[in-house]
Amino acid sequence: MEKALGRHLLLECYDCAIEPLNQVVFMEQMMRQAASLLEVNMIDSHFHHFAPYGVSGVIIIEESHLTLHTWPEYQYAAIDFFTCGPTADPQIAINYLQEVLNAERVRESWIPRGALSILPNPPLSLERNTQITRHRGERQVWFTDRDENVAISLRHKGDLLFQKQSDLQLVEVYDTFEFGKMLSLDSVIMCTEKDEPGYHEMLVHVPVQSFPNPLRRVLIIGGGDGGTARELIRYGQVEQIILVEIDPVVIEAVKNHI
């Protein structure tokens, strides 16, 4: 390989296991482990999940960066290592990624970056900026609920509190920084601790207080998050609440985490 400032590995992973490719927490932890195997110095990481499919992420390192993008529907992941200076044997990280992704085929392409034969020799002498402050190890892991017109992204703490595939849907609970615990179904935000009270208060109190007679028995269809039932319990005249939820995994997730 031509002598250069750095080297850029383009890694293509084909026929991977589908489920990990769509899990932002798993992908972020995998890439951080790959960076650890390369023995590089991590500074920041930013990872996003995009509904309904796919994860994008970058790890900023002192030696440059590592990036990832996945296409679960094609069982494919594209991974880049751009490093300068000495690092550990990259083949160790490549083997690790292939094993974790359960990739049937892997293609590697190496590109020299910054050919020394073209760059100034000797290099320019630049004044160092001693005011730079480095923040090491900050994690940026994001959940994105997106359709063709709107995208909503919430930063969370990087670890799933709950994840289970029921017979009907994927049920997940994340701990977000701004909105607290968040329930999502099939990668669509259902409710968060911060905003659900206003939603459920309007859903219950306006119709109940507008009803001509005191309510005695109430049927809730859906409502596995429990917010509607919670607000109804505030009325002493309510004698019975029947809640019908199609997916018991939703109730399990909410009871244990929200």
Q: Global pTM?
A: 0.68
The stretch 249-258 carries a mean pLDDT of 95
pLDDT band at residue 122, thresholds of 50, 70 and 90?
confident
Selecting among 84, 166, 205, 257, the annotated active-site residue is 84
Tokens matching residue 10: 């383009």
| Residue 116, pLDDT score | 85
Q: Is 191 a catalytic residue?
A: no
pLDDT band at residue 96, thresholds of 50, 70 and 90?
very high
Tell me the average pLDDT of the chain: 89
| Residue 133, pLDDT score | 54
Higher pLDDT pick, 15 / 124: 15
Which range, 44-58, 119-133, 219-233, has the best average confidence (pLDDT)?
A: 219-233
Q: Distance (Å, rounded) from C-alpha 226 to C-alpha 243?
A: 9
Q: Is 64 a catalytic residue?
A: yes
Tens of pLDDT along 183-198? 999 989 999 999 999 9
End-to-end CA distance of the chain: 55
150 pairs with which residues across the strands? none
Examine the pLDDT at 11 and tell me if it is beyond 90. Answer: yes
| Residue 163, pLDDT score | 93
Contact yes or no for 200/193 (Cβ under 8 A): no
Half-sphere exposure for 89 (CA within 13 Å, toward CB)? 4
| DSSP of 142-153 | EEEEE-SS-EEE
Selecting among 64, 184, 187, 200, the annotated active-site residue is 64
| Residue 162, pLDDT score | 95
| Residue 6, pLDDT score | 87
Tokens matching residue 203: 């859903």
Q: Is 135 a catalytic residue?
A: no
Examine the pLDDT at 113 and tell me if it is beyond 60. Answer: yes
Element housing 113 (H / E): strand 105-115
The stretch 29-38 carries a mean pLDDT of 92
Tens of pLDDT along 135-181? 555 778 888 888 778 888 899 998 889 999 999 999 999 999 999 99
Tens of pLDDT along 71-92? 999 999 999 999 887 777 888 9
| Residue 135, pLDDT score | 53
Tokens matching residue 207: 């119709």
Examine the pLDDT at 226 and tell me if it is beyond 90. Answer: yes
Which stretch of 27-41, 85-99, 113-127, 161-175 has the lowest confidence by average pLDDT? 113-127
The stretch 206-214 carries a mean pLDDT of 89
Contact yes or no for 25/142 (Cβ under 8 A): no
Selecting among 48, 69, 156, 200, the annotated active-site residue is 69
